[in-house]
Structure 1
Amino acid sequence: MSDLLWQKPGVAVDAQIQAFLAGDDVILDREFFLHDIAASRAHAEGLQRIGILSADELTGIAHELGTLADDFRSGTFVLDERFEDGHSAIEARLVDRLGDTGRRIHTGRSRNDQVLVATRLWLKEKLARTQALCLEAAEMALQRAGAEAGVPLPGYTHLQRAVVSSAGMWWAGWAEAFIDDSQRARDTAAWIDANPLGSAAGYGVNLALDRDHATQMLGFGRMQVAATYAQLSRGKFELAALEALGSAMLDLRRIAWDLSLFTSAEFGFVALPPEYVTGSSIMPNKRNPDVIELMRGTYASVAAAKSEIEHLLSLPSGYHRDLQVTKGALFHGFGKGLQALALLPDLLRRMQWNPDAMRAALDPSMYATDLAVDLARQGMPFRDAYRQAADPGRWEQGDPQASLAARVSPGAAGDMRLDALHARLAALR
């Protein structure tokens, strides 16, 4: 391992203790290493603006940081156990290539604000990806809602047949859900879009750092003003991002549950694309919906990440090494969540209904609510109409198209208001 940034003269480093301290930091830091490099470039520019670095020194640092980023992308440079973490790797590279100039890069900053700004940039990127995938899912659902508005589908409550519904209504529900999820991801990204670089270890430094310039250069919407709050927000902002992702994961879990049921032989409403099913190692007849089952289970990874970070945040103000543990949870939660969410738009585009099976599942009892409402419209008190419609002797097999057309309350099958959802979708793009 390279020399530790914090190592003091005459103090030996115990290998076992150091392994516990570093943990898997250097591996995890690969996730946001490029963001750390970008923030180092912004910091170097700031140092040049206040006279700590000369113009030539800044040019050298900028060149080496760009080369390091290229080497990392190509695999020429590997972030591994030679380094304590990604931050020390950047400094070691600059010192190796530039000597004393490289030793100046850490002037006025701490690994605390280094990890904060790299994490913040990473979170913005992941929330943008979350928003984009939710929009893609919503757009696909809206397209199919319009195209399949009149395809009858049983509506269920308590997993029991309830009323006549439609594929269009099913799609519209998921479209609006993922529109909301996209908006939440966008709003969360705007809330955390604050630059902590220049807060150092949480108390600022005795240099007139140009934090406004760094904020603009890194593309942040604002500067996180209070140096002490920069540390207080660590974990808090990560939780907010995971909660936004978790909102989409909850909807993904429920849509996967629907598809798990609808693809079963007992329902037979949906056929999945062949790539989304697997076979059994022993039963040749099986076509298992493994992909949607794993989609259904992905929320657990996001929930576990939130729980781990929440438990870590029972801390007083200031930096504490416990906060290092938030990285693994954050990366795992977003890694699993976005992996699952990325498969959803194509699944929604390619899944196929079995209209005959859906129509065959519409039994006479599912028109009872229509009968009760019709009697109430004719002047009968609804509770009396309800009792009459509850009599199985009055149930008749109805016309599903007529039932859907008569459902004219806004948002129902007869007045789906898809134009309003299209307008919300367009506003989020």
Structure 2
Amino acid sequence: MSDLLWQKPGVKVDARIQKFLAGEDVILDREFFVFDIQASRAHAQGLQQIGILSADELEGLERELSILADDFSAGRFVLDDHYEDGHSAIEARLVERLGDAGKKIHTGRSRNDQILVATRLWLKDRLSRLIATCRESAQVALARAEAEQSVPLPGYTHLQRAVVSSLGMWWAAWAEGFIDDARRAADTLAWVDANPLGSAAGYGVNLPLARDHTTQALGFARMQVSAAYAQLSRGKFEMGAIEALSSALLDLRRLAWDLSLFTSAEFGFVALPSQYTTGSSIMPNKRNPDVIELMRASYSAAAAARTEIEQLLSLPSGYHRDLQFSKGAIFHAFGRGLDALELLPDLLRNLEWKAERMREALDPSMYATDLAVDMAREGLPFREAYRLAADPARWAQGDPDASLRARVSPGASADLRLEALKDRLARLAG
């Protein structure tokens, strides 16, 4: 490992203790590295503005930071245990290439605000991806709701046949769900879109740092004003981002459960695209819905990550090393969660419904609610209509198409209000 940034004369470094301190940090920092470089460039520009760096020194630093970013992306520079973390790797590279100019780069900043700003930029990137995939899933669901709105589908409560429903209602439900998920992610993105760079170790520094410049240069909507709050927000903002991710993953989990049931031989309502299934290692007859099962399981990573970070935050104000462990949690949550969600739009586009099988599953009991409401509309008190409609002798095989046409309450099969959902989605995009 290269010399430690904090090492002082006479301080003995125990290799075992240092291994524990560093942990996986340098490996995890690969996720943040390009954002750390980006923030270092903005910080250097700010230092030049207040006279810490000359124009020539800034030019050299910007050049070397660009080369480092390219080398990292191309695999020519590897972030490994030669370094304590990504921050020290950047500084070591700049010192190696530029000497004293490289030694100046850390003026006015701490690894505390360095990791804060890299994390914040990373979260903005991941939340943008989350918004995009929720919007795309909603668009696909809306298109299919419009195309298949009148196709009958059994509606279930408690996994028991309940009433006649439709593919239009099924698709519209997921469309509105993912519109809400995109809205929540966008609101969270706006919340975390605050620049902590320049807060140093949480107490500012005796320099007029160009924080307005770094805020603009890094594309933040605002400065996170209080240096002390910048430290207090670590973990809190990460939890908020995970909660936005979790909202979408909860919808994905329930959707995947529907498809797990509907693709079974007992239901037989839908066929998955072949690439979303796998074979059994022993049973030649099997095609297993492994992709949707792993989609269903992906929420667990977000739930675990949120809990892990929440448990880290039982801390007083100021920075504490405990917070180092928050990095792995967000990488795991967003890594697994976005991988699952970004497979969803194509899956939704390519589902094949088996309309005849769905019609066959509609039995006479599923028209009982229609019967009770019809009698209530004619003037019979609903509770009396309910009692009469509960008698199987009154049940007859109804007409599913007529049942769907009669369901005129807003949001039901005959009044899906798809234009309202399209408008909500369009406004979200704006």
The answer to whether the superposition gives a TM-score over 0.5 is: yes
Q: Does 1:181 align with 2:184?
A: no
Shift in Å, 1:257:
0.2
Q: What is the aligned partner in structure 1 of residue 165 from structure 2? A: 165
Q: Which amino acid aligns with 1:28?
A: L
> Structure 1, residues 304-336: CA drift from partner, whole Å, max 9, x if none?
000100001000000000000000011001000
SS in 2 for 1:164: strand
Structure 2: any 5+ residue segments left out of the alignment?
none
Q: What is the aligned partner in structure 2 of residue 47 from structure 1? A: 47
SS in 1 for 2:288: coil
SS in 2 for 1:141: helix
User: What is the correspondence of 1:281-296 to structure 2 with a 5 Å cutoff?
Assistant: 281-296=281-296
Q: What is the aligned partner in structure 1 of residue 126 from structure 2? A: 126
SS in 2 for 1:155: strand
- RMSD of aligned residue pairs (Cα, Å): 0.5
Shift in Å, 1:12:
1.9
SS in 2 for 1:323: helix
Shift in Å, 1:279:
1.1
What CA distance in whole angstroms lies between the structure 2 residues aligned with 1:241 and 1:347? 25
Q: Which amino acid aligns with 1:179?
A: I
Q: Which amino acid aligns with 2:280?
A: S
User: What is the correspondence of 1:260-409 to structure 2 with a 5 Å cutoff?
Assistant: 260-409=260-409
What CA distance in whole angstroms lies between the structure 2 residues aligned with 1:192 and 1:153? 42
Shift in Å, 1:36:
0.2
Q: What is the aligned partner in structure 1 of residue 203 from structure 2? A: 203
Q: What is the aligned partner in structure 2 of residue 215 from structure 1? A: 215
Q: Could you tell me the TM-score, scaled by structure 2's length?
A: 0.99
Q: Which amino acid aligns with 2:308?
A: E
Shift in Å, 1:13:
1.0
User: What is the correspondence of 1:27-38 to structure 2 with a 5 Å cutoff?
Assistant: 27-38=27-38
SS in 2 for 1:314: coil
> Structure 1, residues 30-66: CA drift from partner, whole Å, max 9, x if none?
0010000000000000100000000110000000000
Q: What is the aligned partner in structure 2 of residue 26 from structure 1? A: 26
Q: What is the aligned partner in structure 2 of residue 239 from structure 1? A: 239
Q: What is the aligned partner in structure 2 of residue 96 from structure 1? A: 96
SS in 1 for 2:287: coil
Shift in Å, 1:165:
0.2
Shift in Å, 1:76:
0.6
What CA distance in whole angstroms lies between the structure 2 residues aligned with 1:322 and 1:357? 56
Q: Which amino acid aligns with 1:17?
A: I
Shift in Å, 1:242:
0.2
Structure 1: any 5+ residue segments left out of the alignment?
none
Q: What is the aligned partner in structure 2 of residue 251 from structure 1? A: 251
> Structure 1, residues 265-297: CA drift from partner, whole Å, max 9, x if none?
000001000001111111111111000000000
Q: What percentage of residue pairs aligned between the two structures are identical?
A: 76
Shift in Å, 1:153:
0.1
What CA distance in whole angstroms lies between the structure 2 residues aligned with 1:73 and 1:192? 26
Q: Which amino acid aligns with 2:269?
A: F
SS in 1 for 2:279: coil
What CA distance in whole angstroms lies between the structure 2 residues aligned with 1:387 and 1:185? 46
What CA distance in whole angstroms lies between the structure 1 residues aligned with 2:395 and 2:27? 65
Divergent runs of 4+, >2 A: none
Shift in Å, 1:427:
1.2
